[in-house]
């Protein structure tokens, strides 16, 4: 039997020129951890200065310091809760006071619960929609004056969950569908000002809280086998896609969703045992230690 072939994830600097984003300022919600930390690190390595947004101020400050040490560029922690627009406006003001402007915005802050509909409270559903969807609106609303002035652009971190009816993911699926729709409206309303708005829909990305929750413990090999490109994604895979979309090479691309998932959306094996996971949801709870049921 032939061996499967795996392309590796490459660091952006192997492909893109090092000063690509010199003098650019990026505002990143969710930049203190996970995928959006990886994106910020890559943009800073290409010369950008960054403001990272999250609720946990101490963790955010430590992340900003680490980013500066690793990249040699500038980062500041701008704590805010994306559900509250006044706090986002304050973070925007702090960014403009420090760096003078905002060119690029990543809307990446998100929440998630692994739970069937019958195990989700109304408050839990609302919390996810408020962070992912309302948070994206608040971030765009608070930054758009700056982004219009600088003819900059938005990348919203979406997902592929909502392309089918995935069990136990009704809240983030609904919220991300809204994010995709909102991004299109931003593309149309702000396009004439020279502003672009696109989404990236990551597949499963290793080393993130999201993947830790979604991949049953010890099942990495099985999950990789279901992916056409035969590996779980890495933060660099997503960061490289963001670099392309922020670059002038994408200057005629707006209102799109770029799926970065190793081809997984075209091969939908059952993610959970089906229909058992909906008929007897509690029996599968132990597969997902972080699940809220």
82 binds ligand NAP (CB under 6 A): yes
* DSSP symbol at 134: I
Q: Which residue lies nearer to ligand NAP by CB, 46 or 157?
A: 157
Select from 269, 286, 284 the least CA-distant residue to 116: 284
Stretch that binds ligand NAP, among 9-17, 113-121, 199-207, 275-283 (CB under 6 A): 199-207
Binders of ligand NAP in range 119-158 (CB under 6 A): 131, 135, 157
29 binds ligand NAP (CB under 6 A): yes
251 is catalytic: no
| Whole-angstrom distance, CA of residue 112 vs CA of residue 114 | 7
Q: Under a CB-based contact definition with an 8 Å cutoff, are residues 32 and 60 in contact?
A: yes
Binders of ligand NAP in range 210-229 (CB under 6 A): 210-211
176 is catalytic: yes
205 binds ligand NAP (CB under 6 A): yes
Burial-class residue 48 by CB neighbours within 10 Å (0-12, 13-18, 19+).
buried
Q: Which residues lie across from 110 on neighbouring strands? A: none
Q: Which of 24, 49, 73, 176 is catalytic?
A: 176
**How much helix, strand and coil, in percent to the nearest 5, is found in the chain?**
50, 10, 40
75 binds ligand NAP (CB under 6 A): no
Strand, coil or helix: 198: strand
Residues near ligand NAP (CB under 6 A): 29-30, 32-36, 53-56, 59, 81-83, 108-111, 131, 135, 157, 159, 202, 204-205, 208-211
- Would you please indicate which residues are annotated as catalytic (active-site) residues? 158, 176
């Amino acid at each position: 039997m032939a061996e499967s072939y795996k392309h590796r994830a490459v660091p952006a600097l192997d492909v893109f020129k090092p000063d690509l984003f010199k003098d650019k300022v990026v505002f990143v919600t969710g930049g203190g951890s996970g995928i959006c930390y990886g994106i910020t690190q890559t943009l800073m390595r290409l010369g950008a200065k960054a403001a990272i947004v999250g609720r946990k101020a101490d963790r955010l400050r430590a992340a900003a310091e680490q980013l500066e040490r690793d990249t040699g560029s500038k980062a500041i922690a701008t704590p805010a809760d994306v559900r509250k627009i006044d706090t986002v406006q304050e973070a925007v003001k702090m960014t403009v006071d420090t760096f003078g402007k905002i060119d690029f915005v990543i809307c990446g802050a998100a929440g998630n619960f692994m739970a069937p509909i019958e195990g989700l409270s109304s408050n839990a559903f609302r919390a996810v929609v408020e962070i992912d969807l309302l948070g994206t609106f608040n971030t765009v609303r608070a930054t758009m004056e700056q982004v219009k002035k600088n003819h900059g652009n938005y990348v919203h971190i979406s997902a592929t969950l909502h392309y089918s009816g995935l069990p136990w993911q009704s809240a983030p699926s609904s919220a991300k569908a809204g994010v995709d729709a909102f991004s299109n409206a931003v593309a149309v309303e702000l396009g004439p000002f020279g502003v672009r708005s696109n989404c990236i829909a990551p597949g499963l990305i290793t080393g993130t809280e999201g993947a830790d929750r979604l991949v049953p413990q010890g099942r990495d090999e099985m999950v990789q086998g279901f992916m056409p490109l035969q590996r779980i994604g890495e933060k660099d895979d997503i960061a490289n896609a963001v670099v392309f979309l922020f670059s002038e090479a994408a200057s005629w691309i707006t209102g799109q969703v770029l799926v970065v998932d190793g081809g997984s959306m075209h091969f939908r094996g059952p993610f959970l045992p089906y229909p058992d996971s909906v008929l007897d949801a509690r029996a599968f709870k132990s597969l997902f230690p972080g699940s809220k049921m």
